[in-house]
Amino acid sequence: MKIKLFRIQMLAAVLILSLTFCCTSCSSDDKSDTQASTETTQDVALSNFVTDAVTITIVPCTLSDGSSTNCYEIVTSSTPTDHQMGPWCPTSITDDASAGGIWLENGEVYDVDGAFIQNMATLYNDSNWLMYNDQGEVYVTKTEEDCLNAANPNVGEEYENFCVECLPSYITDVSQSYLIPIKPVLQNTATLFSTGPGGPGNSAPSTRGIALNGIEFSAPAPTDNILDAYTLAPFDDAGGHINAHQGYHYHAATGFSTKVNQSDGHAALIGYALDGIGIYELEDGDGNTATDLDDLRGHSDTVRGYHYHVDAAGSNNFINGLKGAYAI
């Protein structure tokens, strides 16, 4: 009888422990799921866009996680209406900063003025740099054909020591279309971009997002390749330049494009990533930067939910990846 009673007591103890473990595990799983679902986002707001710069319609779309939803299809001519484009290249080594754009190098933003052109051999410790003639006139591309040829990855030697300047008149027929989910769908696993500080990652698109004026936030410019060909393709003061196929696009956020200021002093909204999550300026109204950004350059607060902050302009980068699903 004592043996039977002991066995019954042991079985009861095992059953109680099993139930306790099961309940604890279930409670832990529920908590994990709840934590994942409580991180919020804001929907994409049409009212934030510059209406004369884009055409926006609602279309059905499929996201990278396989789900079906509605997206905004944003069609743009890749021409900003809220600021001028250019200039990019100075014409003389005596020109001041107003005659040229900027260059992004190792986290720094340089004015591409005459002095910058004159000192490139010193900056890059390479005497082959000589982008001006004996009269101090800078060699600048002059035609659309020059623009196309000099922007070619296999640029010919005839364009060495040229400042590459592609003009707005070359892109009058360019039209770009972007799909962005209206309601962001956060993912448990982030998507890193294949190029830039976040990469090498997976098959995410190279485009980072779109500014409120309809201009693309592009992947980092291939500055090393440009310099290796002894060419210079400056960005204008707004951080953009022109590719004859891509149109005008940004490689840095410098404060020129349309922004939506936040009533609580938070950094201003300047666009949306391809997953529909808001992209905000680097600094808030007091000049402070967020100190708790994740590897994607995102974090959450109680007003905006999860959102991104752009990288510093000199980094030639916006964000490092996508936390939400993107349209495919």
Does one domain contain both 149 and 178? no
Could you give the CA distance from residue 150 to residue 161 in angstroms, rounded to a whole number?
A: 11
- Whether residue 26 has pLDDT greater than 50: no
Q: Is residue 229 part of a domain?
A: no
Q: 10 Å Cβ neighbour count for 107?
A: 12
Q: Do 53 and 82 touch, CB atoms closer than 8 A?
A: yes
Question: Is 102 in a helix, a strand, or coil?
Answer: strand
Does one domain contain both 185 and 207? yes
Q: How confident is the model at residue 39 (pLDDT cuts 50, 70, 90)?
A: confident
Condensed to tens digits (0 to 9), the pLDDT of residues 201-237 reads 566 788 999 999 999 999 999 999 999 999 999 999 9
Does one domain contain both 112 and 159? yes
Q: Give pLDDT, residue 23.
A: 35
Q: Give pLDDT, residue 197.
A: 64
Q: Do 282 and 307 touch, CB atoms closer than 8 A?
A: no
Q: Is residue 178 part of a domain?
A: yes
Does one domain contain both 123 and 154? yes
Number of domains in the chain: 2
- Whether residue 20 has pLDDT greater than 60: no
Does one domain contain both 193 and 264? yes
Q: Give pLDDT, residue 228.
A: 95
Domain span at residue 52 reads: 40-78+174-215+257-324
Q: How confident is the model at residue 170 (pLDDT cuts 50, 70, 90)?
A: very high
Does one domain contain both 129 and 189? no
Question: Is 320 in a helix, a strand, or coil?
Answer: coil
Find the range with the poorest average confidence among 145-159, 166-180, 239-253, 285-299: 145-159
Does one domain contain both 201 and 298? yes
Question: Is 8 in a helix, a strand, or coil?
Answer: helix
Does one domain contain both 184 and 275? yes
Does one domain contain both 58 and 194? yes
Does one domain contain both 313 and 299? yes
The proportion of the chain whose per-residue pLDDT surpasses 70, expressed as a percent, equals 86
- Whether residue 10 has pLDDT greater than 50: no
Q: Give pLDDT, residue 311.
A: 98
Q: Give pLDDT, residue 154.
A: 84
Condensed to tens digits (0 to 9), the pLDDT of residues 61-113 reads 999 999 999 999 999 999 999 999 999 999 999 999 999 999 999 999 999 99
Helical spans, DSSP H, in 119-190: 120-123, 144-150
Q: Give pLDDT, residue 22.
A: 35
- Whether residue 30 has pLDDT greater than 90: no
- Mean pLDDT, the chain, integer: 88
Q: Give pLDDT, residue 199.
A: 54
Q: Give pLDDT, residue 200.
A: 58
Q: Is residue 232 part of a domain?
A: no
- Whether residue 155 has pLDDT greater than 70: yes
Q: Is residue 320 part of a domain?
A: yes
Could you give the CA distance from residue 190 to residue 211 in angstroms, rounded to a whole number?
A: 22
Q: Do 277 and 184 touch, CB atoms closer than 8 A?
A: yes
Q: Do 78 and 235 touch, CB atoms closer than 8 A?
A: no
Q: Is residue 2 part of a domain?
A: no
Does one domain contain both 114 and 142? yes
Q: Is residue 83 part of a domain?
A: no
Give strand pairing partners of 102: 111, 235
Residue that is last in its domain, among 114, 142, 170: 170
Question: Is 327 in a helix, a strand, or coil?
Answer: strand
Q: How confident is the model at residue 254 (pLDDT cuts 50, 70, 90)?
A: very high
Q: Give pLDDT, residue 153.
A: 77
Does one domain contain both 48 and 149? no
